[in-house]
Structure 1
Amino acid sequence: MSETDKKMNPTLEEYLRKRKNPNQKPLIQIADEKERLLKIKEQKEQQKTEGVEENIEEEPPYFLQSLVFAVPFTLLYAWLYYLVYFQYNMLDELEYKELLIETLKIIPSFIMISYLVRRYKKYLLLHIILGIAGSICAVYTIHIIFIDERFGQMLRTPGLIVLCIYAVMEVNVVIAVLVIIPPIVYYYMDGFRTKLTKME
């Protein structure tokens, strides 16, 4: 085919392009390049946005979370410890140095427990173990309050109550509901009735 025939039978786009500027790229090619550049730009912006979201959603370190949880629960323990002395009308025997020492003793243990719980909270097995521990603490607390009211035993209740509350707070909703069933059953079916029988 001669050069004249080639010029007589091109597509309209090619023909117009060659008439204006022989070196100009076809419009389809230009559009493809623009689309490709636009996609690259969108991907970069999306990566930047995801990076910002990851930084926002990233939780603080587990140890820091443990320290944050330790503060309110330590104060709760100190208040419950004080309350035991108040209930037995023995506040005159409570030395605040003793209260401070007993409170400080539980902080390392609580931080360690809280650290492990926060670190492995995504596992269902941890929720189950924590739920069982919470139920045992609650049942034993009820047993001490209604059956074994000795002062020495009652001093165990602050730690048991703190662990029970912490367990219920950390587990998922279903296990949290199941945690409170054994204490309720024990309270009505055994612990409370046994106490009443002994009083009669």
Structure 2
Amino acid sequence: MKRALALVLLILLLAPLVLADEYEGEEDEYEAGYTAFAVVGVAMIATGVVYYSLTKRKLLIIHKKTSEWGFEIKPEQPYVTVFGPIYPLTIHHALTITGTLLVFVHFFSCDNYSGLAGITGLSMAITLVLLNVSGFVGRYIHGKVTVAAKKHDSTMAKKFVKILGNWKKVHIALAVIFAILLLIHLNAVD
């Protein structure tokens, strides 16, 4: 309930920014405003994805759950140990959802979605919605795997692990599509 209230509050705080006119005088219906929000949003999404990927595979960063935040740098691999009260997946969710909301401030400020920049912008918005919905579905499936493992129900656990594997392919494919659309969008913008 607290998360839902925080999300609603964030939307209410950002809504006036979307409705406000960023450009006084010069109006171009093909140009979206609040580009800085989009840049920060995409950076947050990228940070969430990279941090989760690196901690999950323990390549460069390992995350240990503790009551306080901190980090330790070591000369051996993994090079960094991050300590914190929340899991990397929660950090991934928080950064990607908040980043998506910031990107949507930029998206909704555009009046016309024609041309390559507009079409890729609209496609990225749809892909971001699908990515976020997919993320919530993945969190649900992961929860089912955890519950089945705690109940020692290997049949159910195997079933959900297989579903989770298929889900992961779709989620990663959507992320790759978003990255490709972002590159096209950035090249199409003057």
Structure 2-normalised TM-score? 0.27
**Higher relative contact order (Cα pairs below 8 Å, separated by 6+ residues):** 2
Which is helix-richer, 1 or 2?
A: 1
Bigger Cα Rg: 1
Structure 1-normalised TM-score? 0.26
